[in-house]
Amino acid sequence: MTSTLSHVTCLMSLMIRTRIAPSPTGYVHIGTARTALFNYLFAKKYHGEFLLRIENTDIERSKKEYELDILENLKWLDINWDGEIVYQRERSPIHRNYLEKLLDEGMAFYCHHSVEELANEQKEQQFNKAILKHNCDHKNKTVDGGVIRLKNTNKKVIFNDLIRGEISFDSELLGDIVLAKNLDAPLYNFAVVADDHDMEISHVIRGEDHLSNTPKQILIQEALGFERPGYAHVPLILGKDRSKLSKRHGGTSVTEYKNAGYLPQALVNFMALLGWHPADKREIFGLEDLTKEFDLARVQKAGAVFDAIKLDSINNYYIKRLVPAELAQYLKPYLRTHNPTEEQVIKIAHLFQDRLNKFSEIPELAAFIFNQPTYDPKRLLWKNTPPDKIKNNLETALMILEKLNGDSFDIDSTATEIMPLANRSGRGEMLWPLRVALTGLERSPGPFEIMEVLGRDESINRITKAISKL
């Protein structure tokens, strides 16, 4: 607790700079977005900066479409970065200078072992169940060529993780770390250290799968004489079976959740609760509230289970708070094949607003509006009520509706005319068959709301067909 308090005190006087550094080699993963959010919240809580670096050194796999996906989704989530985007590939000359510095100072060396020799060494280590590492016997040679490695001085690497506490590594287990394939091809751990230093990153907040990289990066920092940033390794996002979240658990990219019809504020709210918990039991947070409440001390060490039901519930909360006309704009793309009018979409939005967990549900929920219902006539029957009485109730309702003017055919007028009859004859006996006649479904919104969406003529048409079935 004391170390945590001292760190918080230090944060007040330190310029906080965090970053997210995705590779444009695939669509942005929900885990990357969650890490970006944590970095953003931490920086903004202490009035710092949140930076974006695109690690595009993998020329073969990096694609512009993936880079655009990263940028668009961060903007969509309102996780906005400060300053200019840093592109790792553009920093190649700087990486080369740092590599030459280490070589000139004898901190790094060229390893001349062939790929075959290294592969055979690894096979032997695997056979003997030994730790996979390479202690190179070329470290004191001066011949150029081969991969560039950092000289390992075999010592304890100790750092304080802001989530996990003190962590200790024996660098002897790492061997001589590979820094680059050559002067113009730095590898991940080296490039990250150089970039974080030059971007003046104060805190590196990332997934726990990077924990094994931290001692390597600390050794590189020390060799270059760089100041060490603070480290915090957040828990991985897990599926319900507690394995790492993957395609078999459902969607994994932010774009998939956007296309499924989740609101950005709902996804941000949900992601914040993946591994972090507030001081109280609240579950609904806007981005501004999250910024005030966020604290690394409340980030858990154990894996965070992705609960799709919870995400739906949070999204439903935000959908309910939309104005129907605004919700209608979100629903339009999902109803495009039916070519509804603006007025229809607004009525549909109002009809299903409380039921929607995500926008992509609307085609199925609203299918009965655009398609004539098909169903077994027995579905029209309410419990043990005789078919003749059900038919009589529908015929009575039909006569009432036929007398109504089309311009005033709304919830108030239809309910005002039919509810007195329903109260006399039995609500279930009147309203159940009426609702099934209109939709063909056992579960749906109420008949008066449905009739307002269908309109007078279509409502009368469907009730007439239902009567003929009886």
pLDDT tens digits along 201-238? 999 999 999 999 999 999 999 999 999 999 999 999 99
What gap in Å lies between CA 35 and CA 122, rounded to an integer?
33
pLDDT band (50, 70, 90) for residue 11: low
Looking at the fold, whether 281 and 315 belong to one and the same domain comes out as yes
Question: Smallest Cα–Cα separation from 439: which of 374, 389, 362, 364?
Answer: 374
Q: Which of the listed residues 341, 370, 399 is the one where a domain comes to its end?
A: 370
The predicted pLDDT at position 135 comes to: 76
- Prediction pTM value: 0.90
8 A C-beta contact, residue 160 and residue 166: yes
pLDDT at 327 over 90: yes
- CATH code at position 455: 1.10.10.350
Q: Which domain range does residue 280 map to?
A: 247-327
Looking at the fold, whether 434 and 359 belong to one and the same domain comes out as no
Whether residue 50 is contained in a domain is answered as: no
Looking at the fold, whether 316 and 333 belong to one and the same domain comes out as no
Dihedral angle sign, alpha carbons of residues 421, 423, 427, 429: negative
Task: Tell me if residue 56 falls in helix, strand or coil.
Answer: coil
pLDDT band (50, 70, 90) for residue 408: confident
Looking at the fold, whether 354 and 317 belong to one and the same domain comes out as no
Domains held by the chain: number: 3
Q: For 62-111, how does the pLDDT look when each residue is reduced to its tens digit (9 = 90+)?
A: 999 999 999 999 999 999 999 999 999 999 999 999 999 999 999 999 99
Question: Smallest Cα–Cα separation from 453: which of 380, 368, 357?
Answer: 368
The predicted pLDDT at position 119 comes to: 79
- Mean pLDDT (whole number) for 360-386: 95
What is the rounded average pLDDT for all residues in the chain?
92
Whether residue 99 is contained in a domain is answered as: no
The predicted pLDDT at position 94 comes to: 98
Q: Which of the listed residues 345, 370, 395 is the one where a domain comes to its end?
A: 370
Question: Smallest Cα–Cα separation from 232: which of 277, 267, 202?
Answer: 202
- Mean pLDDT (whole number) for 438-452: 94
Within 8 A by CB and 6+ apart from 374, the residues are 440
The predicted pLDDT at position 153 comes to: 84
What gap in Å lies between CA 282 and CA 116, rounded to an integer?
57
pLDDT band (50, 70, 90) for residue 5: very low
What gap in Å lies between CA 86 and CA 21, rounded to an integer?
9
Looking at the fold, whether 266 and 311 belong to one and the same domain comes out as yes
The predicted pLDDT at position 304 comes to: 94
pLDDT over 90 percentage in the chain: 82
8 A C-beta contact, residue 163 and residue 299: yes
pLDDT at 8 over 60: no
Q: Which residue has the tokens 């709304």?
A: 410
Neighbouring-strand partners of residue 149:
109, 178
The predicted pLDDT at position 134 comes to: 77
- Mean pLDDT (whole number) for 22-45: 97
Q: For residue 60, how far is the Cα from the chain centroid?
A: 26
pLDDT at 12 over 70: no
Q: For residue 394, how far is the Cα from the chain centroid?
A: 48
Looking at the fold, whether 287 and 364 belong to one and the same domain comes out as no
212 phi/psi in degrees, rounded to 5: -70, -20
If you ran DSSP here, which 8-state letter would residue 121 be given?
H
Task: Tell me if residue 166 falls in helix, strand or coil.
Answer: strand
The predicted pLDDT at position 285 comes to: 96
The predicted pLDDT at position 7 comes to: 55
Report the C-alpha dihedral over residues 258, 261, 267, 268, rounded to 10 degrees.
Answer: 70
* HSE-up (13 A, CA, CB side) for residue 213: 18
Whether residue 163 is contained in a domain is answered as: no
